[in-house]
Amino acid sequence: MTLQPVLPWWILVPLMAAAVLFLGWRLVHAARRRFVHGRDSLHGWLFRSALVLLVLGAALRPGIPGGTAEAAASDVNVFFVVDTTSSIVAEDYGDFSPRLDGVRQDITAIAAELAGARFSVITFDTNAAVRMPLTTDTTALETIVAVLESEVTDYSKGSSITAAGTLLAERLRAARESHPERPRIVYYLGDGEQTSGKEPEAMRMDDGLVDGGAVLGYGTPEGGRMKENSGLGPGKEAASGQGYIQDRSAGSGQDAVSVIDESRLREIASQLGIPYVHRSAGDAVAPMMQKADPGTLQRTEGNGSLEGRTELYWSMAAAAFLLALRETVLVLRQWRQLRPAQQIQQAAGVRK
């Protein structure tokens, strides 16, 4: 049997302890009154105790692993970790389009496949930043994706492909603490080009922090040129005659070329415990989603269902409803008995 509580444990455990202590005190008090005064309130408190315990048991969401269940994308937290270094606009995606076009298309396609999920966007170049916290607002996601661009060329000082590791781990831990029952899916989108001059630090994640996802790679071994980003905006960039980033390492002044580094991308995938998938223009999203192991949401072969579990909380909730119905009937009966007594008292007061 497994438990998937509806509230975090740090809230649920004190609540359950307080409820059990209160009910225990009331039962002991009722038993003493029954023995000393002959008043039988113990019977009622036994029913009330059963009602509270059933509600608490349902809140734990007990279940038996096995069976199938329909996909519940709304129970998923999806983190997009996006490379926004200058190399992400290298023009070797499809018909000499920037790699960023592929990144935008794939984020949109993944969001469509996981409709109803909560999405977050983290970007990294020289620094890492949360561009969008977890939200179900797909309009906000579309806006963030549409305005994604590479870092300003003049501010580029070299970057690490694992620059977002610490920030990603923090956001994943926060998501696990607030909603431990929701799987955490990570999609890392980049080209693997390390430009900081140092070896990238490992992306260390706690066990069970990442439930699924994929590292998506963009670019070709031949590489592509990268247009400069002056930070003026799309319209002004074109008007100012936007050029290409130059390779000044050898003093040649030729256009710099960025190439994909799949070995580093596979290393990141290994650290995160998710597969690596290369993406090219025109690649369908369905095969990519199948390779991108979605953890607890893995679809079973042959139908549209998911490996799931048999929920047991509903039986406790149904029993609690019946007991609550009994308490409601008793309260209404007592209220009806009190009304004639009040009317008699009021009439006696008028006579006086």
Residue range 19-53, pLDDT digits in tens: 899 988 888 887 877 665 545 567 778 888 888 89
Dmax over CA atoms of the chain, in Å, equals 114
Rg (CA), the chain: 30
- Give the angle 130-76-14 at the CA atoms, nearest 5°: 90
Q: 266 burial class (0-12, 13-18, 19+ CB within 10 angstroms)?
A: middle
Q: Convert the pLDDT of each residue in 71-111 to its tens digit.
A: 445 589 999 999 999 999 999 998 889 999 999 999 999 99
- Pick the range with the lowest mean pLDDT from 16-30, 121-135, 152-166, 284-298: 284-298
Q: Convert the pLDDT of each residue in 293-305 to its tens digit.
A: 554 444 434 444 4
- Judge whether 46 and 152 are in contact, CB under 8 Å: no
pLDDT of 348 over the 90 cut: no
Q: Which amino acid, one-letter code, is at 300?
A: T
Q: Convert the pLDDT of each residue in 271-315 to its tens digit.
A: 999 999 999 998 988 888 877 755 444 443 444 444 445 677 778
Strand ranges inside the chain, DSSP E: 2-3, 62-70, 77-83, 118-124, 128-135, 184-190, 212-218, 224-225, 246-247, 254-255, 257-258, 276-279, 305-311
- Judge whether 232 and 268 are in contact, CB under 8 Å: no
Q: Convert the pLDDT of each residue in 48-65 to its tens digit.
A: 888 889 888 888 878 776
* Sequence spans of domains, the chain: 2-67+311-351, 73-298
User: What integer pLDDT is reported at residue 340 of this predicted model?
Assistant: 63
User: What integer pLDDT is reported at residue 72 of this predicted model?
Assistant: 46
At 8, the pLDDT band (50, 70, 90 cuts) reads: confident
What's the chain's average pLDDT? 82
CATH 3.30.1860.10 assigned to domain 73-298? The reply is: no
Q: Match 């699924």 to its residue by tokens.
A: 212
pLDDT of 352 over the 60 cut: no
